[in-house]
Amino acid sequence: MSKSLFLLKTREDYSQDPSYSGSYQIATGMYNSAKFVVDALTAHGREAGLGLLIDGNSIDAAVMAYNPTHVIIEGLWVTPAKFAELMALGRHAGRTWIVRIHSEIPFLSTEGVAIDWIGQYVKLGVKVAANSPRAMKSLKWEAEHTIPPAPENVLYLPNCYPVDDFVNPIPQPHNTMAINIGCFGAFRPLKNQLQQAFAALEFAELIGKPLRFHINSRIDAGGNNAQRNVFGLFGQLDPTTAEVIEHDWEDRETFLQSLSELDILMQVSMSETFNIVAADAVLVGIPIIATDEIPWMYPTGVDPQSVPDIVQKMRIIMNARHFFITKNRIGLRRYNEAAVKKWLNYLSLST
């Protein structure tokens, strides 16, 4: 029987990029992603645990304490040299080491070591598990052409999500003087926040309501200019008709409450895999405007480069909010069922 240990790296406060400062904490989205898989495996009778580490030097002790069959490293933070060191130790003989990738290739391109490390991982015998079929296909091509080839070391292991919480009914739309539109997530170039800000402003003007545009304070992977431009845009406007509201990085319960106070969530990014923020909006019953990049969402064909198209799709989704929320709950439930099955099958075959 499998026994899986998921390991995440804590890092310094990432609210300012590139110079991290402050107390150590965990990336909330990646933590939730790992926890949801752990919870799903546990619910199906598989032993699984979750550990938070300071750096790669802490891995050996954590693994020895838990003694798993599978060690799943969440994200790219363990050097190939550290893996080579760990795998050479006799006490780790027979373990399966997996690095789980949470990004599509466009996002990986902003992480300078990503492709080089992935190539070194697979040659060492470390499994690389993408959480999207498209990323898996590209990374498998890389592994097929490494020397020596190692395509068998690239897998697809998707996200899971607690869909049992969908028992809550879809709430009625808010009846407030202003419209509250969220564009949550870290500022990164491919997240497309400035384009979404323009679309939110046009939509608010169209329906004749002041806009309250909700964002997160976190900046990541070169998102400084994107954040400056969003604040620069709102800084030129009448604050009684258009206001940007900044949220600190919140724990999940606080974040769900913040989401529930929105009228609509925007996730019109250029590239996505699973998108837990959107899944959380489905949970609390908030409509979402997003591209078809999110695999489980009901397709709307939103063009992320066209403000008029985003505004038009916002009108459609807001006018049929119950239909779209219901469809997204169905899509996410089906996705999760397939994801859990994928994990269980892999662990059964690799133990």
CATH 3.40.50.2300 residue window(s) in the chain: 3-157
Answer whether 171's CB lies under 8 Å from 338's CB.
no
User: Which pLDDT score, from 0 to 100, does residue 222 have?
Assistant: 80
CATH of 165-334, one of 3.40.50.1580, 3.40.250.10, 3.40.50.2000, 1.10.230.10: 3.40.50.2000
Q: What residues does CATH 3.40.50.2000 cover in the chain? A: 165-334
| The model's pTM | 0.92
Q: What is the DSSP letter of 288?
A: E
Q: What is the CATH number of domain 3-157?
A: 3.40.50.2300
Structural tokens at position 259 = 């989401």
Report the C-alpha gap between 205 and 86 in whole angstroms. 58
The span from the CA of 17 to the CA of 23, in Å, is 15
- Listed as ranges, residues in the chain with pLDDT below 50 are 12-25
**Read out DSSP for 188-220?**
-GGG-HHHHHHHHHHHHHHHT--EEEEEE--B-
